[in-house]
Structure 1
Amino acid sequence: MMEHTNLTRRVASGLTAALLATGALTGVAVAAAPPAQASAPAASDQAARFEVDFLTGMIDHHHMAVMMAEMCVEKAVHDELAATCESIVATQSAEIATMQQWLEDWYGISHEPDMTGMQSMHRFHDLDGEEFEVAFLRSMIRHHWGAIREAEKCLANAEHDELLTLCSDIRDAQLAEIAQMQDWLQEWYDLPGGRPVGTA
């Protein structure tokens, strides 16, 4: 995921504010507090930095998927694909909003999706019919694999239960969508839909 130049500074500032709010920097004991409370940062600096990196990166990643899926809703030939793309738009837009709220609540950070990757979508604009569907399915499969890899890292490194649940949901939903898209590539276009190499 992309590194944000001022990320460390913002994380440190957000952590300091959150720790002051909980009394952790003033010597006030927080009795029997769970490691990651609903409106507090992760207990360890390492986990906190991971969560901020993950959330900002996944917001950007989801935003790209939403943009691609919105184009798919307009251009898809098969109704099943259009319906799946509508579902991607709805689900991942809601997840973006949730992750933005967590960044704000836990770390005092506001993050809008990074638009740098949008130029990679230009290749879809001139495609229609079979060409569009094949290019879209292959690209979304690659994109989903990238999200799954990051979700697996999240499950190993995040502390907030809500985030762990979301990461599990992302992994399971996108694995299921990959399997469906691979089937469509085979069924509709007699093309292999195996796991692609590389990131989205």
Structure 2
Amino acid sequence: MRTFLTSQLRLMWQALALLLVLTGTASAAAPAPEPATARYEVDFMQDMIDHHAMATMMATTCESKAVHAELRELCTDIRMSQQQEIAQMQGWLQSWYGIRYQPQMKPGDMRRMERMAQLPPAEYEVEFMQSMIRHHRIAIRRASVCLDRAAHPELANLCADIIQVQLDEIRMMESWLCQWYGICRRSS
């Protein structure tokens, strides 16, 4: 009886795996069904982890350097939400692909952040918001591609969230640049 049940369970799992491959949907604990899609997901998550790590470092400095309380609060939100997304993507890389990944920072990025941190507070705010707007636009472009290419619905949902949240943050920072510093370019 036990052998029969084991065989039945094995057949059910094989049928489920075949169904997932045929429908093109990845299960929560399996890699994407096609190698090119799997490679895309791994590359996307590693790149976005690095991208988010840079934003969290920028936001951490902003929390102590910004003049306006609203901007400090936004920086805290950016730091916390992107740290959470980093952990989520690291978990998916481990669960789906068996990959442990830690953020990688480029030396040029580190130097730019160090120079920005040396600016006087008002100049810092302007430079921070303009830099974060550019940074968010890059993430939005990458996340837009992810919507079409990700096999895992969880990853596609994260990409949709990245787009919405970062568009909202761009609009907010553009508004503040205009209100606080007279820099009134709307480009989003």
Q: Which residue of 2 aligns with 1:15?
A: none
Cα RMSD (Å): 1.6
Q: Which residue of 1 aligns with 2:3?
A: none
The residue matched to 2:19 in structure 1 has which SS? coil
User: What is the CA distance between 1:31 and its match in structure 2?
Assistant: 4.4
Matched, 1:188 2:175: no
Q: Which residue of 1 aligns with 2:4?
A: none
Q: Distance in 2 between matches of 1:31 and 1:178?
A: 43
Matched, 1:32 2:19: yes
Q: Which stretches in structure 1 are left out of the alignment for 5+ residues? A: 1-22
Matched, 1:146 2:127: no
Q: Which stretches in structure 2 are left out of the alignment for 5+ residues? A: 1-9
User: What is the CA distance between 1:88 and its match in structure 2?
Assistant: 0.4
User: What is the CA distance between 1:118 and its match in structure 2?
Assistant: 2.0
Q: Distance in 1 between matches of 2:160 and 2:58?
A: 23
Deviations along 1:83-119, one digit per CA (max 9) or x if unpaired, are: 0000001100000000000001111111100021322
Deviations along 1:48-70, one digit per CA (max 9) or x if unpaired, are: 01100100000000000000000
Matched, 1:54 2:44: yes
Q: Which residue of 2 aligns with 1:70?
A: 60
Q: Distance in 1 between matches of 2:102 and 2:81?
A: 18
Give the paired residue count: 170
Matched, 1:163 2:150: no
Percentage of pairs with the same residue: 48
Matched, 1:79 2:69: yes
* Corresponding letter in the other structure for 1:192: C
* Corresponding letter in the other structure for 1:100: Q
Whose Rg is larger? Answer: 2
* Corresponding letter in the other structure for 2:39: R
Q: Distance in 2 between matches of 1:31 and 1:135?
A: 52
Q: Distance in 2 between matches of 1:94 and 1:193?
A: 31
Q: Distance in 1 between matches of 2:59 and 2:30?
A: 34
Q: Which residue of 2 aligns with 1:8?
A: none
User: What is the CA distance between 1:130 and its match in structure 2?
Assistant: 1.1
Q: Distance in 2 between matches of 1:97 and 1:83?
A: 21
* Corresponding letter in the other structure for 1:83: E
Deviations along 1:151-187, one digit per CA (max 9) or x if unpaired, are: 0010011110000000000000000000000000000
Contact 1:183 1:193 in 2 (8 A): no
